[in-house]
Structures are given as structure tokens and as C-alpha cells.
Amino acid sequence: MSKHTSNDTSNDTVNVTATVADAAGDRPADPSADDLATVDSPAAVDGPTARRPYAVGDGITVVPAYLPVPGMGVLPANSFVVDGPEPLLVDTGPGGAEEGFRAALRSILDPADLRWIWLTHTDPDHVGSLQWVLDQAPAARLITTYLAVGKLGMQMAVPMDRLYWVNPGTTIEVNGRTLRAVRPPSFDAPETTAFYDHSAGTLFSADSFGALLQRPVAEAADVHPDDLRDGLTLWSTIDSPWLTHTDRASFGRTVDELRGLGARRVLSAHLPPAEGITDRLVDLLSTVPGSTPWVGPDQAALEQLLSAVTA
């Protein structure tokens, strides 16, 4: 049975006005996407927070969310809706922002109209509303991998008859589009499967090309080039720590394959939409091998943090 249903908000982080009442005043009304801050609002990101969706062209709408990274900034956590005869949802929002994500999705389409869900991987920032979407969209099939299903099976009952398995290299025709599954150049989970939408010249890159940012923004091109370089490098060493000791020449051949796709748009889960800067992103990622491994804050840092909070 679903852990989250449309009426179950008891465990949800409320990012939108939870006190909105229905006409009778005896239960909260479903929140609206109008209650969500715009993506580039300066409002603080105090927890996983959905922001208002916006279109990027070619029938693609970003369903943005942001995650706070204390002491380091914020991290985008995007999902995407791809319009067409068989509407497709790419990932299902982060845990902790379920209510806002669901309001955002409902503002784009009736979730029951979804026909496909492409799950890039099973991390909590990608499966936050997976069960809810499956419940709301009974006609939708879940595009994923054998390995992802093994991992999902430890969290939920996986509807085996609704799965569609793809491996990197597989090309499928769905939603009136030609989608080629690819293994992105960086990733943090072995089941990660990104894809290239030939019809839209768009790479849906999963975690790859993510960047820590100082504040939410609508487009990657709006981030200062130095901040984009530093944020992408830092995020890549955190999310794909194996990259720091990967041979740069070997990695270069991997990213060259990606460059060969000629994507004019990169839609990462962890970067604002990137239009027309693919070569720059690839160049930045190419420099990560050999960079200093990231080490997280230690116990002394935690104690300092706690003492600051309780002072």
C-alpha cells in the first residue's frame, strides 16, 4: 500500500501555505502552485522546497525544487514534465518537498494523464513522490532498470507489470519522441540512466552537471562563470567522489562521446536549465578528475554547529 496517498500529508514537509482552508473551513484545501515562490525568489531555502514550474521550450516544463546545503549554499533538485501525446515525467521530486511538488505537477497537467515516468535513479531526491505518482497515474509505465527495481523493492511494492526496462544505449520511441538512454559521465548510483531527447536536442543528465549554488536561479547561464565552475566542480567531487581519482584522459574520451550528441540543452536534476552552454559544461566536468577529494565536516564541526544553534 502506498506510504503516501493524496490524502496523506502527515509526514510531508509543508512548503506551501498549509493553513489554506477549504470553503467549509474543516480541512486544508489542496495547495496551489500559486502558493509556491518563483524559482528565482530570494526567499530562504530552509528545507527541501518546491518552487513554481516554468517552461523551457520544446514542450518541456521544469518542476524545480531546492535543497539547503548548510554552510555551502543550495542545490537544485529538478524534475521535468515532457508534453506530448504520451506525457512523460522525469523523476518525481525530492523527499521533504512532496506537497509542493505535487501542487506544482498538478498545475502542469492532470497527473492521471501521465503515460510515462522516467526514473533516472532511486536516490531520495528523485523518488520523493514516486508512489504517489504511480497511484495518481494508473496508466503510466515506469521506465527504469533491473538494478533500480532491486533497490526500490526495499522501499515499496514495485508494480512489475508497469515497468519498462532500458539500459544505456537503448533507444525508445515514446511520447512522439526518440529517446536514447545513456550513462551520464558522472553519477552516484549504479542504476543511473540518463537520456537524450533527439527531438528536442535535450540531454536529461540525471545528477551529472549538477552545481552547488549560492541562490536559486532560473537558468544556468545566469550563474557567474566562476561560481558555475566552482559549484559544478565541488558538487561533482561530492556526488561522484570516484571522479577525483579517475584518469583524466580516459574520462575525456567518455565526455567526448557525450559531446558528440550535440545537445543544445542540458537538463540536470541539480543544475538550473542550461541552454546553449553544453560545451562549457562538458569542459568544466572534464577538469574534475585529479581535483582535491571533498571531505565532509567532522565531529568538531558538528559540535561547533550545535553550540552555535543552542547559544
Residue nearest to Fe ion (CB): 123
If the CB atoms of residues 125 and 219 are measured against Fe ion, the closer one turns out to be 125
For residue 246, give Cα distances in angstroms to 39, 211, 257, 285: 35, 19, 17, 12
**What does the per-residue mask of binding to Fe ion show for 203-242, with x meaning CB under 5 A?**
----x-----------------------------------
**Looking only at residues 262 through 291 of this chain, which bind Fe ion when binding is defined by CB under 5 A?**
269
3-state DSSP assignment of residue 238: helix
Annotate 174-229 with DSSP letters as a single string: ETTEEEEEE--SS-SSTT--EEEETTTTEEE-TTTT---BSS--S-GGGS-HHHHH
3-state DSSP assignment of residue 35: helix
Binding flag, residue 147, Fe ion (CB under 5 A): no
Q: At closest approach, how far in Å is the CB of 125 from Fe ion?
A: 4
Binding residue for Fe ion (CB under 5 A) from 58, 83, 188, 227?
A: 188
Helical segments of the chain, H only = 98-108, 130-136, 146-152, 225-239, 248-259, 278-286, 299-310
Binding flag, residue 125, Fe ion (CB under 5 A): yes
Q: At closest approach, how far in Å is the CB of 182 from Fe ion?
A: 16
Contact 36, 100 (CB under 8 A): yes
Q: At closest approach, how far in Å is the CB of 278 from Fe ion?
A: 20
Binding flag, residue 123, Fe ion (CB under 5 A): yes
| Number of amino acids touching Fe ion (CB under 5 A) | 5
Binding flag, residue 91, Fe ion (CB under 5 A): no
Q: Which residues bind Fe ion (CB under 5 A)?
A: 123, 125, 188, 207, 269
